[in-house]
């Protein structure tokens, strides 16, 4: 019986891993420059955390969560996103007593049972940031600038920033009635999900992707046009901050995001590359989330960036990413004595930080050289009795076949010098 990876999962193979590591390193670097600290949270949490945090009217909670009972009959769920778990950790570990704002970043896997398509998996990876304690628009702009810098440094172009405000409970309550008055005459023609959300959370109807609902949602009044004075001031402040930083943006009144905890600022970075248009990452404020999970009122904002989507965009735009590393040198040994010497030299090189390989398969010299060529090794060194007795050998540059005499006792220095002068 053949066992395959579960639907919606994938193996990240050695040929691809360098690009992943490059993105991970760069994201960590940018976050560190902004004063963010890494946090690592559990892969699964109590189901109630996501029901209360993400919202029980969202598709994530209603349809997509991987939920199970553990051996103590407690309902557990594989995390479908990172924010709720970080908020739980913020409360449980007393981070409210830390100097504000508390800035955190993470690199996680997440799990959602959804339709599998290009760039979307049931097990996927996210970079994310969360900030607690700052309620003004300055932190909104800073978080957006962090993403802008990350995209610039990794080489991603052809993206646009879209922003909106979905207000606070005060202005949203009034707006919901206006929205319901617009939708009510058309409910009979709309999908069952929209009908279910009509009373529970009408704002989520605007995010519906069903074709039959589009004529209604596209003509709905915009919440941005019905903000309370405080929310309008906050949004105007965000636009001013982005203008000051020189960050281009488009106001998109249709952005509501897919999770219930968002308030005020919501934003997305969207690809403009032909053939791959779609949201690369998104986020926004969640000023009531900490309170909904049992903590004090704490303003917050964050984002999640899909790593699979990011790498797919980089590839589609022809952006060069790191390739899998190749050995600097392959040391071939002829006979047992030479093979032992090859292993000793390789160990010395590895201790010096140099990638080196030796034969582990008892191959002939011809087979060893063929293998060395397949690995992409930049240099080869063949050892026999003569080389061991004289303490010298010849490093062969695989690119042009040029041979460089070396003393075996100074192999580390010779390789480091040759690598600089003969890349």
Residue 125 in any domain: the answer is yes
Q: For strand 379-383 and strand 329-333, is the pairing parallel, antiparallel, or unpaired?
A: parallel
CATH classification at residue 403: 3.40.50.800
% the chain with pLDDT above 90: 74
CA distances from 330 to 183, 356, 382 (A): 70, 6, 8
Domain limit, last residue, from 316, 351, 377 = 316
Does 175 score more than 80 pLDDT?
yes
Q: How far apart are CA 23 and CA 119, in angstroms?
A: 16
Q: Which of 317, 301, 310 is nearest to 281 (CA)?
A: 310
Q: Which of 164, 219, 222, 221 is nearest to 190 (CA)?
A: 219
Does 423 score more than 60 pLDDT?
no
Tens-digit pLDDT profile for residues 240-252: 999 999 999 999 9
Contacts of 392 (CB under 8 A, 6+ apart): 405, 406, 407, 408
What pLDDT score does 52 carry?
A: 86
Q: How far apart are CA 112 and CA 121, in angstroms?
A: 8
Q: Are residues 95 and 244 in the same domain?
A: yes
What pLDDT score does 57 carry?
A: 63
Residue 355 in any domain: the answer is yes
Residue 180 in any domain: the answer is no
Rg (CA), the chain: 28
Tens-digit pLDDT profile for residues 280-315: 999 999 999 999 999 999 999 999 999 999 999 999
Q: Are residues 240 and 121 in the same domain?
A: yes
What pLDDT score does 56 carry?
A: 67
Does 259 score more than 80 pLDDT?
no
What pLDDT score does 160 carry?
A: 94
Q: Are residues 135 and 282 in the same domain?
A: yes
Q: How far apart are CA 285 and CA 376, in angstroms?
A: 48
Q: Are residues 292 and 357 in the same domain?
A: no
Q: How far apart are CA 198 and CA 367, in angstroms?
A: 70
User: How sure is the predictor about 199, in pLDDT bands with cuts at 50, 70 and 90?
Assistant: confident
What pLDDT score does 164 carry?
A: 95
Residue 266 belongs to domain spanning: 14-168+228-316
Q: Are residues 333 and 312 in the same domain?
A: no
CA distances from 275 to 116, 225, 278 (A): 18, 32, 9
CATH classification at residue 279: 3.30.930.10
Domain limit, last residue, from 316, 348, 377 = 316
Where are the alpha helices (H) located in 93-228, listed in sequence order?
Answer: 137-154, 169-183, 192-200, 214-218
Tens-digit pLDDT profile for residues 53-86: 887 667 677 778 999 999 999 999 999 999 999 9
Q: What share of the chain is helix, strand, coil (3-state, %, to 5)?
A: 45, 20, 35
% the chain with pLDDT above 70: 97
Domain limit, last residue, from 267, 284, 316 = 316
């Amino acid at each position: 019986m053949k066992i395959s990876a579960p639907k919606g999962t994938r193996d990240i193979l050695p040929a691809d891993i360098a690009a992943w590591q490059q993105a991970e390193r760069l994201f960590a670097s940018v976050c560190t420059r902004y004063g963010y600290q890494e946090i690592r949270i559990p892969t699964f949490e109590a189901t109630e955390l996501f029901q209360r945090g993400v919202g029980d009217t969202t598709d994530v909670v209603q349809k997509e969560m991987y939920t199970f009972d553990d051996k103590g009959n407690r309902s557990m769920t594989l995390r479908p996103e990172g924010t709720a778990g970080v908020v739980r950790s913020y409360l449980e570990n007393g981070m409210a007593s830390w100097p504000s704002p508390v800035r955190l970043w993470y690199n996680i896997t997440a799990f959602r049972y959804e339709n599998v398509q290009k760039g979307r998996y049931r097990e996927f990876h996210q970079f994310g940031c969360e900030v607690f304690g700052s309620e003004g628009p300055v932190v909104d702009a800073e978080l957006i600038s962090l993403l802008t810098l990350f995209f610039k440094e990794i080489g991603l172009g052809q993206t646009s920033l879209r922003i909106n405000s979905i207000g606070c409970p005060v202005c949203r309550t009034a707006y919901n009635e206006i929205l319901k008055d617009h939708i009510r005459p058309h409910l009979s023609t709309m999908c069952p999900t929209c009908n279910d959300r009509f009373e529970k959370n009408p704002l989520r109807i605007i995010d519906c992707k069903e074709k039959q609902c589009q004529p209604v949602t596209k003509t709905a009044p915009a919440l941005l046009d019905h903000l309370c004075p405080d929310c309008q001031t906050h949004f105007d402040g965000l636009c001013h901050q982005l203008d000051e930083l020189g960050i281009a943006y488009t106001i998109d009144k249709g952005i509501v995001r897919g999770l219930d905890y968002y308030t005020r600022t919501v934003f997305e970075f969207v690809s403009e590359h032909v053939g791959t248009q779609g949201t690369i990452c998104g986020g926004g404020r969640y000023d009531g989330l900490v309170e909904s999970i049992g903590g004090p009122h704490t303003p917050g904002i964050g984002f999640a960036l899909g790593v699979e989507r990011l790498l797919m965009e980089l590839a589609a735009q022809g952006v060069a990413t790191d390739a899998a590393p190749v050995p600097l040198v392959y040391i071939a040994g002829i006979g047992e004595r030479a093979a032992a010497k090859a292993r000793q030299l390789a160990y010395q090189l590895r201790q010096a930080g140099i990638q080196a390989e030796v034969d582990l398969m008892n191959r002939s010299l011809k087979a060893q050289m063929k293998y060395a060529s397949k690995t992409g090794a930049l240099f080869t060194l063949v050892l026999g009795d003569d080389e061991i007795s004289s303490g010298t050998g010849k490093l062969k540059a695989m690119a042009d076949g040029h041979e460089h005499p070396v003393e075996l006792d100074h192999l580390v220095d010779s390789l480091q010098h040759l690598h600089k002068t003969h890349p």
